[in-house]
Amino acid sequence: MSRIAAVLLAAGEAARFGRPKQLIPWQGRPLILHTAGIPWSAGLDPVIVVLGAAAEQIAPLLEGQPLQVVRNYRWREGMGSSLCVGLAALPPRTEAVLFLTVDQPFVTPAHLRRLIAAWEAGASIAVTRWQRRRTVPALFDRRHFAQLAALQGDAGGRQLFDKATERPVEVEAGQPLLAADIDTPADYERLRARHPRPDLRGLRGVLCDMDGVLWHGLEPLPGLHDFFAFLRRHSLAFTLVTNNASKTPRQYVEKLRRFGIEIGEEAVLNSAIAAATYLHERRPNGGRVYPVGGPGVHAALREAGFTLVDEEARGADVVVVGWDPHLTWRKMARATLLIRNGAAFIGTNPDLTFPAEEGQVPGNGAQLAMLEAATGRKPTVVGKPETALYRQALARMGLRPQEVLVIGDRLDTDILGGVRLGAPTALLLSGVHGEEALRRALVHPDFVFDDLAALVAAWEEALKGGQR
């Protein structure tokens, strides 16, 4: 969604609150991180955060995050000045901007996507509606940017969508918490107490990552056998979904068999298969593909009907890049030349690192970054955190997003993908991301467990009626 930017308005003094409400705790982290993570999780790019009052305290919390932080030195003039600062920071490519405020913690990525869908259907202004009231989040097409930049005072964009000659499209909030904002300490305590607690009892299946969740390298992780026994005991459907495209489903099945777990190949879905399916849907007559990756990439593309070309090929329609533990300079040189010559550029997944037994090593995202630097082209990524992989798994199981638990060890792929899917999520601290990463994360899981054993224990307790 790089055509659509987000501007998070976080410059106010919060005089009624008595202290910077951007810094109050929400789900174990400062509110500013929580609310900045909502548009980021929805895929908006860039996410611009406008700071003003208490900026010196707030800005350090945002360092190192995939956010663009700007300062409004005229914040005392009202929200209109923050709108102007946010608009001035937009890149030239921006076709629409979505405004949010820092004190609406119950806004969801799914609601932002509904506003975006209204714009894609032709609306020049899309606003949130709750109980006959128009409010933010609100999205404006670029044709309104000049009008927005001219607004003054504290009413902000409401001046525009209340007086617009073009009737705004109203997107219902759906539930009252989504439109709720925090103005006073009493609001904060009341809303924090009403934060919805997810319930494991109504789930019918799981979408589970493998590396860092089920095993590290050649070593199974604690709770592996109990996890699969639990799934079968309670008739829970499951698909093992992984961004690792280097192996085939059969290789994963054989690895689990060595650990004493028996499953069928239909229970495994990797990003290579997702990429091959994605390509087949767009090129049903096949084509010439240059693959970078292991056996999983090659097998998936062949089964989808594509002709694979080798390193000496002078032409290819598509370059597909998956994690390759035997990567060579020659492979990357050929991929670079083909992409620069017009071949489509597909990445199976964006994982920057891969969890090997000795630690984190370069993953497919590092390979893609090398090719992007050499070609000036961004890849189309199919794996997590994009939802194609998960949606293919849901189709296999015949389930809806809200009926499955997404389990993973990476916040930026597994959990972010589950959030974008609209499914409940569980982070296991047995893999890439630990408690420190969680405290600074823009995306937050519904559940956090040390490992599979802890997840199974909590789920069993929930099914007995003792939901934690």
Q: Which residues are catalytic?
A: 209, 211
Helices (H), 283-313: 295-303
How do 425-428 and 404-408 pair as beta strands? parallel
Torsion of CA 354, 360, 361, 362, to 10 degrees: 60
The token pair that represents 35 in the structure block: 């609310």
Question: How far is 42 from 402, CA to CA, in rounded Å?
Answer: 17
> From residue 365, how far is each of 1, 324, 345, 420 by CA, in Å?
19, 11, 13, 20
SS3 125: strand
Q: Which DSSP state fits 195?
A: P
Q: Which DSSP state fits 412?
A: I
Residue 17 CA to chain centroid, in angstroms? Answer: 31
- Angle subtended by helix axes 55-62 and 31-41, to nearest 10: 50
Question: How far is 175 from 131, CA to CA, in rounded Å?
Answer: 10
DSSP 378-403: PPEE-STTSSHHHHHHHHHHT--GGG
Phi (first) and psi of residue 340, to 5 degrees: -65, -20
Closest C-alpha to 246, from 327, 313, 164: 327
DSSP 436-465: HHHHT-SS--SEEESSHHHHHHHHHHHHTT
Closest C-alpha to 39, from 109, 143, 118: 109
The token pair that represents 344 in the structure block: 């489509």
Closest C-alpha to 50, from 119, 14, 120, 100: 100
What's the number of CA atoms in the CB half-sphere (13 Å) around residue 413? 31
> From residue 101, how far is each of 48, 82, 130, 303 by CA, in Å?
12, 11, 16, 48
- Angle subtended by helix axes 31-41 and 109-120, to nearest 10: 40
> From residue 136, how far is each of 12, 24, 139, 173, 368 by CA, in Å?
16, 21, 8, 10, 37
